[in-house]
């Protein structure tokens, strides 16, 4: 084998490991870095030649690279160091490899694709644990599921973090998580995407994070929707969300300098003993449009031990002429089985291989795509069917909001009835109300449209809507402890005046929509009365007809009262929080939610009655959905109101919600606001099995 390999950044923690591994590899290796004082003793101890050049000195870099065939760039943070090195490689006709795991670096390097192709050079970032291992696993499951639509990758937890990795992670803290949707990079709020993966010891909760595979796996597999997750317990997920909340302040010079100083207190890297006993696990799952899913799992040595082996194996192949010009990914060039030749790497398939479908063939039901989630069959589309799927866009929505006092015990019973289905052990979590009120809201949607082809090309509609909503906290079960991890909105009662919306809301998402009519009076200065009517059975007996009755009536208070004070107002949908008497364990989550105006999750029960066994449900699941608030105006106080909620046997609103019975209810707060909404991600939290 001919050709010379230069390892730049050899004095860092990962660089030292790579250099030590290269010593007995038989390759023609040169060490390089910016400090002769640090580099010389290391190179002499290994018996390897060495060279010095700073990345900010192009002439010195070109001189160092003039007789080099391949650079293995290991000096981070790569968001700073990658560009000068790859440009030096292009000037000196040198192939470029690096160990970057920093997602923003990948599109930056991809911009050199054309220049590299013209020179016959390969640019391949991520030849270490990130992303070589996961890229090979992604390619493997993609090959087992032709036509896959979605790829998810899960990374097991590690406590081994070097100082350089920590610095890189702190430099990448952002308010959002990068994912791919329809082949495009986009962002979702931190903490909004969570699911479980089996890393070998049962299902473990994992949270989405911005990871380089979101970029590379698309070019390796062609799969358009990609998410990457990392195993995280409840405390880690809360701290992750808190870190995202502080992302902008942490990039300001004083905070940035403080964080940089704190990293100097971190150990340079894990010890040999720690690395010898540590293992990493990667899970990948590919899913097609029918939710048929295949999964596979990699077991590898710890990332710091695996990285030198895989990086030098790739470098050796490049030196042997096994390469493709341009920007490339590890599995895209060397295949999904490449890393199986490395010591300590094992792969196991967790599902049977999915058979390819011929046109018009009904797919065979296969393994679930998550705990308790059954495989699905194709939905039979009909143009007249009002089951329009999300995402939806709702521009210029006007909202009148009324905060009503409620009994927490009643709200807890409602959560137990409609959200805490099955057993705690089956679900792994439970929902509890956290504030002693519900919000009654009247909404006007002047335009409602689907964002999903072909529905997005068919037109739009409008509606009025009324609902009662409450804030609930999700408590996840860890051992014998229930730990709060998220605040969501729960809507147990909702009424609309759009028949298509009733059907889509119930059958697609699970919102318990009733068909209703709305009567409005007053003007801008006095937006009352509002009367919402629907069909009800006032009482239960064989002679009672179904009749149209008011379910909610809103009138101006008599005598008129002052406008609500909006002092301390937080962005809708949170309103003005009153945290008196709230569980202190939940309060930090609420405070974090109140500081978020970009959106909020909802959780609902979706179920269908079985046609044969009427007392049973043929489908029952908890659905988590995402609302995004893309624009919101300032709140405007409304005149004091009185709200009447009649008691009907068929709709026991006040009783189930724990609202004051009898006389009209005086809201604690009333205001209006205008905003633009989008309804996006929906997923099954838990599908109940018999």
Q: Find out whether 231 and 158 touch, Cβ atoms under 8 Å.
A: no
- pLDDT tens per residue, range 191-232: 778 888 999 988 888 888 889 999 999 999 999 999 999 888
Which of the listed ranges 45-59, 609-623, 628-642 does the model predict with the highest average pLDDT? 45-59
Q: How many Å apart are CA 40 and CA 216, to the nearest integer?
A: 36
Inter-residue contact 237 to 194 (CB < 8 Å): yes
Tens of pLDDT along 3-42? 999 999 999 888 999 999 999 899 999 999 999 999 999 9
Does residue 367 surpass a pLDDT of 50? no
- The better pLDDT of the pair 187, 587 is held by 187
**Reported pTM:** 0.64
- Per-residue confidence (pLDDT) for residue 356, from 0 to 100: 42
Q: Which class for 663: exposed (0-12), middle (13-18), buried (19 or more C-beta within 10 A)?
A: exposed
What is the pLDDT averaged over residues 651-659?
92
Q: Is the pLDDT of residue 372 over 50?
A: no
* Mean pLDDT, residues 359-363 taken together: 38
Selection from 384, 607, 651, 619 nearest residue 500 by Cα:
384
DSSP at 505: I
Looking at per-residue confidence, does 167 or 296 come out higher?
A: 296
Say if residue 562's pLDDT is above 60.
Answer: yes
User: Is 60 exceeded by the pLDDT of residue 373?
Assistant: no
Q: What is the mean pLDDT of the segment spanning 508-512?
A: 92
d(Cα 389, Cα 289) in Å, to the nearest integer? Answer: 14
Task: Report the C-alpha gap between 137 and 349 in whole angstroms.
Answer: 10
Q: Is the pLDDT of residue 593 over 90?
A: no
With the C-alpha atoms ordered 419, 422, 423, 425, is the resulting torsion angle positive or negative?
negative
Looking at the DSSP bridge assignments, the partners of residue 283 are: 154, 297
Mean of pLDDT values over 614-640:
90
pLDDT per residue as tens digits for the range 57-116? 999 999 999 999 999 999 988 999 999 999 999 999 999 999 998 999 999 999 999 999
pLDDT of residue 612: 87
CA distance 131 to 142: 16
Give the distance from CA 411 to its chain's centroid: 29
So what's the pLDDT on residue 357? 40
Whats the size of the chain, residue-wise? 690
pLDDT reading at 675 higher than 50: yes
What pLDDT score does 259 carry?
43
Q: Is the pLDDT of residue 354 over 60?
A: no
pLDDT band at 235 (very low <50, low <70, confident <90, very high): low
Give the pLDDT confidence score for residue 159 in this predicted structure: 64
Say which range, 542-556, 574-588, 636-650, has the weakest mean pLDDT: 574-588
**b/e 449-462 (16+ beta carbons within 10 angstroms → b):** bbeeeebeeeeeee
Instruction: Identify the pLDDT of residue 194.
Output: 84
pLDDT of residue 251: 45
Q: Round the average pLDDT of the chain to a whole number and report it.
A: 85
- Mean pLDDT (whole number) for 157-178: 57
- For residues 515 and 499, the answer to whether their CB atoms sit within 8 Å is yes
Q: Give the 3-state DSSP-derived string for 476-503, with helices as H, strands as E and coil as C.
A: EEECCEEEEEEEEEEEEEEEECCHHHHH
Above 50 in pLDDT, residue 358?
no
Return the pLDDT at 250.
Answer: 45
What proportion of the chain, given as a percentage, has pLDDT over 70? 82
pLDDT in tens, 288-334: 877 788 999 999 998 788 999 999 999 999 999 999 999 999 999 99
Whether pLDDT at 127 is above 70? yes
Residue range 357-367: mean pLDDT, rounded:
37
Asked if pLDDT for residue 239 goes beyond 70, the answer is: no
Q: How far apart are CA 449 and CA 458, in angstroms?
A: 9
Question: What does the block give as tokens for 147?
Answer: 């036509």
The helix (H) or strand (E) run that includes residue 220 is helix 213-221
Residues 6+ apart with CB under 8 A from 481: none
pLDDT classification of 359: cutoffs 50, 70, 90: very low
Using pLDDT thresholds of 50, 70 and 90, give the confidence band for residue 591. Answer: low
Q: Read off the pLDDT band of 522 (50, 70, 90).
A: low
What backbone phi and psi angles, to 5 degrees, belong to 184?
A: -110, 145
Rounded Cα distance between 333 and 311, Å, is 14
pLDDT tens for each residue of 473-484:
998 887 777 888
Confidence of residue 360 (pLDDT cuts 50, 70, 90): very low
Cβ(507)–Cβ(478) below 8 Å: no
Greatest mean pLDDT range, 320-334, 348-362, 646-660: 320-334
Mean pLDDT of 422-429: 88
Confidence bin at 389 (pLDDT 50/70/90): confident
- The rounded distance, in Å, linking the Cα atoms of 99 and 10 is 12
**What burial class does residue 596 get, using C-beta atoms within 10 Å of its C-beta: 0-12 exposed, 13-18 middle, 19+ buried?**
buried
Dihedral sign of CA atoms 418, 423, 426, 432 in order: positive
User: Which of 169-173, 237-241, 492-496 is the most confident on average?
Assistant: 492-496
Over pLDDT 90: what percentage of the chain? Answer: 57
CA quadruple 303, 307, 309, 313: dihedral sign? positive
pLDDT (mean) for 676-682: 89
The answer to whether the bond into 573 is cis (omega within 30° of 0) is yes
Asked if 21 and 46 touch (Cβ cutoff 8 Å), the reply is no
pLDDT of res. 467: 97
Whether residue 138 contacts residue 217, with contact meaning beta carbons closer than 8 Å, is answered with: yes
Distance CA 322, CA 314 (A): 9
Lowest mean pLDDT among 172-186, 311-325, 371-385, 420-434: 371-385
Of 307 and 239, which is predicted with more confidence?
A: 307
Helix and strand totals (H; E) in the chain: 20, 29
List domains and CATH numbers for the chain: 4-128+304-341 (3.40.50.720), 134-303+344-349 (3.30.360.10), 392-684 (2.40.400.10)
* Average pLDDT for 498-505: 93
């Amino acid at each position: 084998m001919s050709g010379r390999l230069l390892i730049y950044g050899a004095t860092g923690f990962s660089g030292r490991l790579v250099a030590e591994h290269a010593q007995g590899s038989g390759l023609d290796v040169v060490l390089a870095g910016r400090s002769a004082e640090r580099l010389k003793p290391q190179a002499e101890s290994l018996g390897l030649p060495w060279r010095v050049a700073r990345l900010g000195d192009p002439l010195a870099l070109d001189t160092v690279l003039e007789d080099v065939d391949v650079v293995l760039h290991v000096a981070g943070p790569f968001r700073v160091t990658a560009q000068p090195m790859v440009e030096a490689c292009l000037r000196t006709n040198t192939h470029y490899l690096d160990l970057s795991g920093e997602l923003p670096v990948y599109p930056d390097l991809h911009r050199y694709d054309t220049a590299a192709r013209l020179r016959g050079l390969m640019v391949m970032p991520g030849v270490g644990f990130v992303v070589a291992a996961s890229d090979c696993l992604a390619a493997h499951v993609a090959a087992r599921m032709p036509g896959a639509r979605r790829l998810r990758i899960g990374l097991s937890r590690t406590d081994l973090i070097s100082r350089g990795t920590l610095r890189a992670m702190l430099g990448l803290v952002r308010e959002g998580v990068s994912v791919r949707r329809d082949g495009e990079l986009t962002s979702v709020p931190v903490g909004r995407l969570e699911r479980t993966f089996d890393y070998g010891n049962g299902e473990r909760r994992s949270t989405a994070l911005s990871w380089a595979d979101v970029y590379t796996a698309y070019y390796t597999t062609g799969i358009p929707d990609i998410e990457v997750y990392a195993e995280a317990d409840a405390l880690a997920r809360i701290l992750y969300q808190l870190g995202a909340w502080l992302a902008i302040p942490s990039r300001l010079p004083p905070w940035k300098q403080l964080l940089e100083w704190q990293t100097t207190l971190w150990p340079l890297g894990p010890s040999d003993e720690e690395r010898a006993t540590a293992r990493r696990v990667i899970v990948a799952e590919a899913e097609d449009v029918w939710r048929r899913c295949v999964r596979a799992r990699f077991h590898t040595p710890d990332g710091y031990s695996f990285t030198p082996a895989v990086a030098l194996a790739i470098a050796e192949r490049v030196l042997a002429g096994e390469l493709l010009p341009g920007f490339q990914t590890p599995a895209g060039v060397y295949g999904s089985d490449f890393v199986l030749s490395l010591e300590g790497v094992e792969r196991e398939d967790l599902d049977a291989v999915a058979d390819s479908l011929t046109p018009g063939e009904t797919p065979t039901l296969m393994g679930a795509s998550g705990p308790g989630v059954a495989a699905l069959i194709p939905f039979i589309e009909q143009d007249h069917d009002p089951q329009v799927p999300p995402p939806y866009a709702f521009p210029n929505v006007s909202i009148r909001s009324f905060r009503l006092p409620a009994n927490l015990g009643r709200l807890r019973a409602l959560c137990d009835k409609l959200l805490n289905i099955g057993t705690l052990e089956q679900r792994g979590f439970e929902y509890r109300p956290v504030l002693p009120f519900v919000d009654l809201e009247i909404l006007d949607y002047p335009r409602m449209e689907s964002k999903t082809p072909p529905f997005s090309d068919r037109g739009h509609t409008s509606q009025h809507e009324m609902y009662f909503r409450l804030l609930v906290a999700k408590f996840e079960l860890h051992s014998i402890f229930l730990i709060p991890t998220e605040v969501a909105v729960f809507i147990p009662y909702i009424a609309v005046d759009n028949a298509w919306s009733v059907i889509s809301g119930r059958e697609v998402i699970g919102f318990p929509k009733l068909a209703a009519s709305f009567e409005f009076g007053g003007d801008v200065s006095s937006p009352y009365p509002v009367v919402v009517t629907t069909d009800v059975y006032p009482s239960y007996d064989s002679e009672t007809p179904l009749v149209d009755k008011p379910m909610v009536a809103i009138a101006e208070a008599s005598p008129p009262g002052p406008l609500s004070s909006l002092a301390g107002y937080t962005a809708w949908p949170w309103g003005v929080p009153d945290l008196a008497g709230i569980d202190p364990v939940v309060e930090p989550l609420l405070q974090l939610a109140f500081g978020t105006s970009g959106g909020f999750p909802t959780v609902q029960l979706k179920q269908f009655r079985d046609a044969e066994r009427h007392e049973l449900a043929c489908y029952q699941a908890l659905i988590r959905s995402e609302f995004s608030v893309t624009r919101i105006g300032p709140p405007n106080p409304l005149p004091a109101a009185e709200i009447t909620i009649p008691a009907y046997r068929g709709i026991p609103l006040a009783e189930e919600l724990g609202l004051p019975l009898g006389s009209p209810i005086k809201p604690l707060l009333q205001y209006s606001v205008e905003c633009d909404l989008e309804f996006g991600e929906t997923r099954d939290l838990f599908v109940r099995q018999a």
